[in-house]
């Protein structure tokens, strides 16, 4: 079968977040899916197979990190939609049946793809004891992001602080199911983004995720409330970096970005 590596939330190769994508005829055993994801060794590998016509979804979709299955993944969903559209396997909006419900990916005229995801419920919590030492800076506020995202969202002082973080990854794993989102307001919105973030997910085998769509379902409501706008652009300031356009629509968040296929090959295992 064909296997592809797609850089998501990027309009050029070697940017954004790489994801493995496999289009399957059916649903193999979980152990095989996990082994393939371990072999690909990117933040997520997406596995999709077509569903019968007339149902609520067109394709079934699952996501695996090198060590575990996850409940939601934005960049691998974007990558899968890109593969479906670029290969002609599906035309127009595609509905994915996932552990997080039906997620819709819609191609746009500019070549980008817009994902319709559930907005993460944000619950303010006390900044946990020890998290400042693990992160390397004192957070201003902390929010739980609910079961689908599973992160602790921490606002820090400024963009420079976000960019300079060198956290104790082993220690960070104690504070949430998946990991930590660190964020701050953009230093200069004239650069084309409204806020910055970085995401550390030691509990699922990802020290730092390059660009995280699911995290932006929490970042969108967080920053929309503070900045007074529903339409925003977030910059995830990892080494690869990438931008995610977000539009808050109540209990749904639209995430938009480009994707590009960089590797295509044959999986023979």
Residues annotated catalytic, as ranges? 44
CA distance 173 to 67: 15
Distance of CA 189 to the CA centre of its chain: 23
DSSP state, residue 120: P
* The pair of three-digit structure tokens given for residue 205, joined into one six-digit string: 């085998």
What would the DSSP string read from start to end of 160-211? HHHHH----HHHHGGGSSSEEEEEEE-S-GGGS-SEEEEEEEGGGTEEEES-
- The residues near 138 (Cβ < 8 Å, ≥ 6 apart) are 127, 132, 156
* The pair of three-digit structure tokens given for residue 90, joined into one six-digit string: 């599906």
32 to 28, 38, 45, 47: CA distances (angstroms)? 7, 10, 12, 11
CA distance 255 to 217: 8
CA distance 118 to 218: 10
* The pair of three-digit structure tokens given for residue 204, joined into one six-digit string: 């699922």
Q: Is 149 helix (H, G, I), strand (E, B) or coil?
A: helix
CA distance 83 to 105: 12
CB 133 within 8 A of CB 122: no
Strands (E), 24-149: 44-50, 59-64, 69-70, 94-98, 101-107, 113-118, 123-125, 141-144
């Amino acid at each position: 079968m064909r296997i592809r590596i797609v850089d998501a939330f990027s309009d050029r190769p070697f940017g954004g977040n790489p994801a493995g994508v496999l289009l399957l005829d059916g649903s193999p055993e979980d152990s095989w899916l996990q082994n393939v994801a371990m072999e690909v060794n990117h933040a997520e590998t997406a596995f999709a197979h077509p569903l019968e016509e007339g149902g609520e979804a067109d394709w079934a979709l699952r996501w695996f990190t090198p060590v575990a299955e996850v409940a939601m993944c934005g960049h691998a969903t974007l990558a899968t939609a890109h593969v479906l559209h670029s290969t002609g396997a599906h035309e127009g909006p595609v509905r994915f049946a996932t552990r997080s419900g039906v997620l819709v990916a819609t191609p746009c005229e500019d070549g980008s793809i817009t994902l319709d995801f559930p907005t993460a419920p944000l619950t303010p919590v006390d900044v946990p004891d020890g998290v400042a030492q693990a992160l390397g800076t004192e957070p201003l506020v902390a929010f739980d992001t609910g079961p689908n995202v599973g992160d602790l969202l921490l606002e820090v002082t400024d963009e420079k602080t976000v960019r300079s973080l060198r956290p104790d990854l082993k220690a960070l794993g104690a504070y949430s199911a998946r990991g930590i989102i660190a964020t701050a307001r953009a230093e200069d919105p004239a650069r084309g983004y409204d806020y910055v973030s970085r995401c550390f997910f030691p509990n699922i085998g990802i020290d730092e995720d390059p660009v995280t769509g699911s995290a932006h379902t929490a970042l969108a409501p967080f920053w929309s409330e503070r900045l007074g706008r529903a339409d925003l652009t977030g910059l995830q300031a990892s080494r690869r970096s990438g931008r995610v356009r977000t539009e808050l629509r109540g209990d749904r968040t639209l995430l938009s970005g480009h994707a590009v296929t960089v590797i295509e090959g044959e999986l023979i295992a």
